[in-house]
Structure 1
Amino acid sequence: TKNDPTQLQKQTLFTSNETAGNVYRIPALLYERESKTLFAFAEQRKTSDDASGEKLVMRTGKIKEGSSKKTWSELKEVEKALIKGYRPMNPCSVYGKVNNKLFLFFICVEDAITEMYQKENCDNRTRLCFITSEDLGETWSDVIDLTDELSEIKNWSTFAVGPGHGIPAESGRLIIPVYAYTSFCCKPCFLPNSKSYALSLYSGSHGKNWKFGELFNTVSVECEIVEISKDHIYCNARNVGGYQVEAVSDDNGVKFNNLQPGNNRTSKSSSPCTPGEKDEGRRSKSTLLSPNTDTSVLLITSLQSAWPPTSMSASSMGLLSSVMIRTVR
């Protein structure tokens, strides 16, 4: 209805201008319910090329009580999300409810080094970093670099977080989606068995210490997660050929099991619903906010039953046949 606060409206938050050297890619969106605040992050690049990344930027939106109207702040650089000689990529945020702290995870990749170079040469030049804010993104902490604290990273060709958002589980655990390219660290190591697998990064200490979960047993790349019930975490990840991997963890995000064991490519991407379609009334309370590649953000809400899948571009991520999708710009 007209006054329904759940109704979504499109609004452009990041406008690219390649001529001016400002291109925005890899958006991420997080909603904090208590303060009714939306956090939107993106990479700012010189061009659409991954290696031209310069910094992370953000905008915050306030939702007015009893309406769907949002007031957005001006775009600003997340100045603390930076390591000298590296470019920040793949923003992925989560809000810790216990300590009222906003965590912004991202990777830092050595300047001019591409993902392909790292995979072909088994030369990991990527670092795992995060910053925190206790005032809803107004100010940020210095960078915390977890790379040397997590031994698994040295066995990967490269890796990334999300992109998108993590979740504060009902148990209090903070969980961040990750994907990693495994290798035998030989040269060249870009072999058929050097593939990407999703996994989780989690903290049971409200962000003080972090651990990796187990790698998926199915090829999987960019991913999003949502808690469907206590200790049960659902993950939706890109596979290949326009397919998505669906997996569920029953141990609070440590190990995920494929919903269709033995099938390497599970669900074909589905086409988005438009606002007002019949399936809208069957939404659950859980949502996935997942970026696609054309700098918009997809709000994905689980349905009680699936609709027939249809073909969709393989460049879209976070879509599958059992969700309703809306675009938030």
Structure 2
Amino acid sequence: MECLESKCRPAEFVKTTLFKKGCDFTYRIPSLLYLPGTNTYLAFAEKRTSAGDVDAKCFVIRRMTTNDHPTEWSPPKELYAELMIPLLPNHRNMNPCPVYDSTTQTVFLFYICVPHGVTEGEQIVTGRNQARLCCVSSSDQGATWGAPQDLTVSVMGEIRVSTLAVGPGHGVQLDSGRLVVPAYAYLPQPGKWESRAFSIYSDDDGSLWKMGKQLGSWSNECEVAEVFDGVKSVLCCNARTTGSPRVQAHSRDGGDTFQMPPEMSKLHETGGGCQGSIIAFPAPNQQEGAIRQTWLAFSHPTNQSSRQDLGVSLNRTPLQSHWDPPKVIHRGPSGYSDLAYSQEDQRFSCLLECGEKSEIEQIAFMSFTLDEIRQTASSAEI
């Protein structure tokens, strides 16, 4: 039987370059937020003078509204003065992690401020935290921003840490209305400092933020997603580790505490570790009045030794944590990523670091349907 090449060849995923490396600057740390009810996407990244963390300069943002015809992204806008804390001069902004409150239609952009030239490693070695937990909000879908706040003391209290960060990626609003931002900090352990993930949450539309309890094992850059199995709501945390497998934990109290389920299908970590993204979405083909079910999608490099071949994996039974093999959406160098889901048009989006020779060549936007990521599985195991 004759097979046409166009039908035999796997579908190509179309990329739109949002942030492209230049001669004396590059972009890293993608963060993608979809604002339900507005058909608006916000894409954030760090603009740096090199790929190194110490060379972060400022955040950049681009906006897209799918109501517009033709659909176009706004020009890149640097967020520098908007995020600067007056009492923190000579600091750089890192780790964008926005969350959207659909009740008040407010975007809260969490990030950290770190003194120029100070590395995360230096803080861990000295045991002296110099990172500040900051937040700025927007009530017009990211067009303008209010006054930034330093939340370090009010959220962290007297807890001793050597450094801290949020995300990077995105936070979530739970079905209860609670806003949850993923975070991690290096905490004192016998003879060392050890990274532990936790959540920062608010039950009053962002007026007061609180810190949840830390995970019980080494866990670093992380994201969270809320799933339902019938009437039960569970917050799933997926976190970076230094080796395989990745950390997966569940919370039944909205992110205040997390437990490690005994039976977990493994998600392999890329050599040296890499950030990954997780997003929840309604299970397809649910009948009206049926028990509410949620699936998960996870994006991460599929190569276990290096940052290559970014793929998206599906989990149809999140509480059992059985992951399907990944569908590779970018062949070649790829690094950090962030997923979003639009329930209005039932489409996924991914903002990812990628390139032909290096993953820091560009940050690109991709959009795809559920069928496109589950129709064919990659031979790579996760």
For Structure 1 versus Structure 2, the TM-score category normalised by the shorter chain is 0.7 to 0.9
Please say if 1:155 is aligned against 2:171: no
TM-aligned CA deviation for residue 23 of structure 1:
1.2
How many Å separate the matches in 1 of 2:179 and 2:296? 16
Say if 1:112 and 1:154 are closer, same or farther in 2 by CA, change over 3 A.
farther
In structure 2, which of residues 57, 60, 64 is the aligned counterpart of residue 57 of structure 1?
A: 60
Q: How high is the TM-score relative to the length of structure 2?
A: 0.68
Q: Deviations over 1:7-62 (max 9, x none)?
A: 97321111112x2x221111100111211111100111111111111111100111
The one-letter code matched in structure 2 to 1:37 is: T
- Equivalent residues in 2 for 1:185-264 (5 A)? 191=191, 193-229=192-228, 231-260=233-262
Residue of structure 1 equivalent to 2:141: 136
Q: SS of the counterpart of 1:165? A: coil
How many Å separate the matches in 2 of 1:194 and 1:46? 30
Identity of aligned residues (%): 34
- State the structure with more CA Rg: 2
Q: Contact between 1:227 and 1:233, CA under 8 Å: does it hold in 2?
A: yes
Say if 1:245 and 1:173 are closer, same or farther in 2 by CA, change over 3 A.
same
Structure 2, unaligned stretches of length 5 or more? 1-11, 271-282, 287-292, 339-347, 352-363, 365-382
Say if 1:260 and 1:202 are closer, same or farther in 2 by CA, change over 3 A.
same
How many Å separate the matches in 1 of 2:72 and 2:337? 27
How many Å separate the matches in 2 of 1:82 and 1:225? 27
The one-letter code matched in structure 1 to 2:227 is: I
How many Å separate the matches in 1 of 2:310 and 2:206? 26
TM-aligned CA deviation for residue 243 of structure 1:
2.5
Please say if 1:303 is aligned against 2:289: no
How many Å separate the matches in 2 of 1:154 and 1:168? 26
How many Å separate the matches in 2 of 1:173 and 1:106? 19
How many Å separate the matches in 1 of 2:337 and 2:67? 28
Q: How high is the TM-score relative to the length of structure 1?
A: 0.78
TM-aligned CA deviation for residue 306 of structure 1:
2.5
The one-letter code matched in structure 2 to 1:86 is: H
Please say if 1:105 is aligned against 2:110: yes
Residue of structure 2 equivalent to 1:276: none
The one-letter code matched in structure 2 to 1:247 is: A
Residue of structure 1 equivalent to 2:36: 33
How many Å separate the matches in 2 of 1:38 and 1:289? 19
TM-aligned CA deviation for residue 259 of structure 1:
2.3
Residue of structure 1 equivalent to 2:73: 72
TM-aligned CA deviation for residue 135 of structure 1:
0.5
The one-letter code matched in structure 2 to 1:34 is: G
Q: Contact between 1:28 and 1:165, CA under 8 Å: does it hold in 2?
A: yes
The one-letter code matched in structure 1 to 2:258 is: F
Q: Contact between 2:314 and 2:326, CA under 8 Å: does it hold in 1?
A: no
Say if 1:13 and 1:286 are closer, same or farther in 2 by CA, change over 3 A.
farther
How many Å separate the matches in 2 of 1:106 and 1:291? 22
Residue of structure 2 equivalent to 1:118: 123
| Corresponding residue pairs, total | 296
- Equivalent residues in 2 for 1:78-93 (5 A)? 78-79=79-80, 80-83=82-85, 84-93=89-98
TM-aligned CA deviation for residue 326 of structure 1:
7.4
Residue of structure 2 equivalent to 1:275: none
Structure 1, unaligned stretches of length 5 or more? 1-6, 271-279, 320-324
Please say if 1:181 is aligned against 2:186: yes
The one-letter code matched in structure 2 to 1:71 is: E
How many Å separate the matches in 2 of 1:251 and 1:318? 27
TM-aligned CA deviation for residue 116 of structure 1:
0.6
How many Å separate the matches in 1 of 2:284 and 2:185? 37
